[in-house]
Amino acid sequence: MRASAAVLLLFAAPGFGQEPEWRGRYDVAFERDGDVPVARVEAVFTWLGARGRFPDWAPVEMTDGGFEGGYGAFVRDFEPFRPEGAPKPKEPFLAELLDAEHARHRVPVLRDGTLAYRYTVVLEHDPEKLLGTDETPHAFGGGVFWTGRALFAAPRPATFELAFRAPKGERVAASHALHPKEKGVYLAADERALRECFLAVGEHDALELDVEGSTVLLEVGDGLADATKTFAETIEEFFGATAELAGGPPPDRSVVLMSKTALPGELSGAVFGRDVRVVVDKELDETNEMSWRPLLCHELFHLYNGYLVRFEDRQMWFSEGWTDYFTWVLLTRTGRVSPARLLDTYRGRATGYLEQAKADPRGLIAAGVRENKNRTLIYDGGALAALCLDLLIRDASGNRRSLDDVFAGLYEDAEGGRRVTLDDLRRRLKKAGGKSVAGFLERHVEGDEPLPLAECLALAGVTLVAETLELPEYEPCLVDLLQTPGSTSTGRGILIQRTNASGLKVDDVLVELAGHVVEGFGDLPLALRGAEPGSKVPAVVRRKGERKEVDVRLGRPDGPLPTAAVFCVLLELDPKPSKKALAIRASAFGSDFR
C-alpha cells in the first residue's frame, strides 16, 4: 500500500491584502456534455476604482496548475459578452489570449466600467492524480470534485459573489461565506478565498454538522455512504477535543469530502484553505480504522494549525509535525488510541528521525525548505520536537502547564487573521516553561543540534535505547512461528485468515504480541526477537469486536530463522520512576501508565 500522505495546501494569492479594484459575480452551471462533466462560467465585474478611470482592457487569468498545460488546458470557448443594459462595445469586441497555460486573456472593458466574459471548463483532468499540489479535479462515486483554482479566471484585485447551479437532483457543497440577503449565493472577499476551496457536485451522501458553533459540510461519495455516520461522529468528537485544547472553535464553515477511488493503495488527504479531502481505496471496516481515522483527524487539525494558526513564513516542521503530534495525543485522550499505541507511535517516529538525522544533520526549519526531500525530519522530527517541548514544559512547571497552553496561546495570537511568528512561539514557550524551554528553538529547530529525545523522555520515566539488532525476517515470523500463512496487514493489526496456531482463530485481529503493539507485519520481528520456538507468548486480539487476551503457541521451524540487521529504537518504562516523572508520564501519555 502506498504510504499515507497528508498535504497542507496553503498558497499566497496575488492581490491578497490589496484594496479591490473590481467587484464581480460568477454564475456557474455544472452540466454534462455527453459523458463529460463541464462547468459553464459567466462572470460580470464592475470597476471600483476612481470614477471614469477604468482601463480599456483588463487581464483575467487562472492560477498555476500542477500538471502539463495548467488549468488553461481545460478551458474552452472563452469570450467577452455584453450584459443586458450595458453600453454597446467598441469594435472589435474580442478577447486576446496571452497565456494558454493560465487561461490569461486581455478582455475589453465596456464604457461604463463593466467587464464581462464567459467560458467553459471541462472535467478531463488526469483521473490517476487524485491529490497533489493542485488537488486535481476529477469524478468520484456520486459526483464530481472541483477546486476554485480549476474554475475561476479572475481580474485582480477583486471581491466576488458566487452562484452555483447543479443538475436536477444534485447539490453543490461550498464553504464560502453565505450571502446575507440572497439564498444560494456565496461571498469570497479576495482571490485567496475564491481559489483555495473545494467544491463537490453530485448526488453523494451529505450531512450538515454543527460543530462547536461552526458548520461542517460532510460530503461522502458512493462506496463509503455506510460510513457517513462514523465520519460525522469522528469529526464531532475530534473537533470537540481540539476546541477544548485551543480554547475556541474551528473555521465558521468548512467542507469535509470523503471519497473512494479504484486505485489500489491510494490513501491520502489534503487541506485546501479551510476544506478537507480524504481519499481511500476500500470500504471501511474495523480492520482499517487506524488507516483512515488518524489521517482524517490530521487533516481536521490543520483547520486549526495551518488555517487559523498560520505562520508569517514557511514553518513545515510546525504545520506538519505539531499537527501530527496533537492528532495522536487527542486520539488518545478521546480513547481511540491506547497509551501503549501512542508510545509505540513515538518509538516509530524516533526510529525514522534518528536514522535520517544521522544521515542529514540539519535543523528542522532548514529541512522544511525542501519538503519532499526531508519528510522524515519535517513530520517525525516536528512531532518529536513537540513531544520534547511538552515534556520540558511539564517538568519545568511541575506538570501544571503543557504544550496545550502554548498552542492555545498561539490560537489567541492569531485571532482576526493575524499571522504568528517564531517570536510569538518563543514568547509562549517562555511563558509556559521558562527561558530554557524557549531556547530549545534556537538549538534544535533553527540550529542543527539533534533533538534531545533520551533526556526529554527520561523526564517521564521512559528510557530510550537506540541500537542495531539482528532480527528475524517478518515472513518466517509469520509463517513459521505464528503459523498464520493466510493473513492481512491492516495498519491496525494483522487480520488472521488462516492459522494453525493455538490461541488464534480465523477473523481475529492481532493487535499486541509479547507486549509490543502490532500494526502490521513489520512489527513482528521486534515482538518475536529472542522468542523460543514452541513456547507460549502473550497476545491481544480483537475477536468479534471485543478485546481478548490469549496465549499463542509458537511453531517449531526446521532450522534457524533468517535474520537481518535492523536499526531500532526501544522505549522502556522505568518500573520505579520518581513521583514527578510518574505524574508527567500519566498526563502526557495516558493514565494507563500510572
- Within the chain, how many helices (H) and strands (E) appear? 17, 28
**Model pTM score:** 0.87
Q: How many CB atoms lie within 10 A of CB 85?
A: 7
State the amino acid at position 344 in one-letter form.
Answer: D
To the nearest whole percent, how much of the chain has pLDDT over 90? 58
Instruction: Return the C-alpha cell found at 382.
Output: 516536528
CA angle 199, 204, 209 (to 5 degrees): 75
At 35-88, the pLDDT tens digits run 899 999 999 999 998 777 889 999 999 987 767 788 999 999 999 999 999 999
State the amino acid at position 506 in one-letter form.
Answer: V
Query: Is the Cβ–Cβ distance between 121 and 150 less than 8 Å?
Result: yes
Instruction: Please state whether the peptide bond connecting residue 92 to the residue before it is cis, i.e. omega within 30 degrees of 0.
Output: yes
- The whole-number average pLDDT for the span 406-428 is 96
User: Which stretch of DSSP H or E encloses residue 530?
Assistant: none
More confident residue, 468 or 38: 38
Query: What distance lies between CA 78 and its chain's CA centroid?
Result: 35
Query: Which DSSP state fits 446?
Result: I
Query: Which DSSP state fits 112?
Result: T
Largest CA distance in the chain: 92
Residues with Cβ within 8 Å of 359's Cβ and at least 6 positions away in sequence, in order, are none
Measured CA to CA in angstroms, residue 280 lies from 1, 274, 323, 324, 442 at distances of 11, 20, 21, 19, 39
At 172-184, the pLDDT tens digits run 999 999 999 999 8
Relative to beta strand 268-272, strand 462-472 is unpaired
How high is the pLDDT of residue 501? 85
| Res. 283: pLDDT tops 50 | yes
- The whole-number average pLDDT for the span 152-167 is 96
- Classify domain 5-302 at the CATH class level: mainly beta
Q: Please, which residues bridge with residue 106 across strands? A: 59, 96
Mean pLDDT score of the chain, rounded to an integer?
89
Residues with Cβ within 8 Å of 275's Cβ and at least 6 positions away in sequence, in order, are 175, 197, 198, 254, 255, 256, 257
CA angle 428, 454, 523 (to 5 degrees): 110
Enumerate the domain spans of the chain: 5-302, 316-452, 474-561
How high is the pLDDT of residue 16? 44
How high is the pLDDT of residue 371? 57
Residue whose cell numbers read 493489526: 493
Size of the chain in residues: 594
Instruction: Return the C-alpha cell found at 354.
Output: 534518528
CATH of 474-561, one of 3.40.140.10, 3.40.50.150, 2.30.42.10, 3.40.718.10: 2.30.42.10
Residue 213 backbone dihedrals phi, psi, to 5 degrees = 85, 0
Give the span between the Cα atoms of 34 and 38, in whole angstroms: 10
- The whole-number average pLDDT for the span 441-460 is 94
Residues with Cβ within 8 Å of 298's Cβ and at least 6 positions away in sequence, in order, are 6, 269, 323, 324, 327
Give the span between the Cα atoms of 1 and 491, in whole angstroms: 10
To the nearest whole percent, how much of the chain has pLDDT over 70? 92
| Res. 389: pLDDT tops 80 | yes
When mean pLDDT is compared across 95-109, 274-288, 420-434, 453-467, the lowest value belongs to 274-288
How high is the pLDDT of residue 314? 87
25-29, 198-202, 504-508: range with highest mean pLDDT: 25-29
How high is the pLDDT of residue 532? 86
3-state secondary structure 469-529: EEEECHHHHHHHHCCCCEEEECCCCEEEEECCCCCCCCCCEEEEECCEECCCHHHHHHHCC
| Res. 594: pLDDT tops 60 | no
User: Which stretch of DSSP H or E encloses residue 547?
Assistant: strand 546-553
User: Which stretch of DSSP H or E encloses residue 411?
Assistant: helix 403-413
How high is the pLDDT of residue 13? 40
How high is the pLDDT of residue 516? 81
More confident residue, 556 or 97: 97
Confidence of residue 12 (pLDDT cuts 50, 70, 90): very low
Residue 21 backbone dihedrals phi, psi, to 5 degrees = -100, -15
How high is the pLDDT of residue 128? 59
Give the span between the Cα atoms of 226 and 230, in whole angstroms: 8
How high is the pLDDT of residue 375? 84
How high is the pLDDT of residue 363? 84
Give the span between the Cα atoms of 477 and 98, in whole angstroms: 63
Rg (CA), the chain: 27
23-37, 54-68, 252-266: range with highest mean pLDDT: 23-37
When mean pLDDT is compared across 150-154, 229-233, 302-306, 509-513, the lowest value belongs to 509-513
- The whole-number average pLDDT for the span 424-432 is 96
| Res. 483: pLDDT tops 70 | yes
How high is the pLDDT of residue 368? 77
Measured CA to CA in angstroms, residue 206 lies from 141, 202, 273 at distances of 13, 10, 20
Q: Identify which of 217, 218, 222 has the alpha carbon closest to the alpha carbon of residue 204.
A: 222
How high is the pLDDT of residue 133? 61
Give the span between the Cα atoms of 13 and 29, in whole angstroms: 25
Q: How many CB atoms lie within 10 A of CB 215?
A: 16
| Res. 248: pLDDT tops 60 | yes
CA count, 13 A, side-chain hemisphere, 159: 13
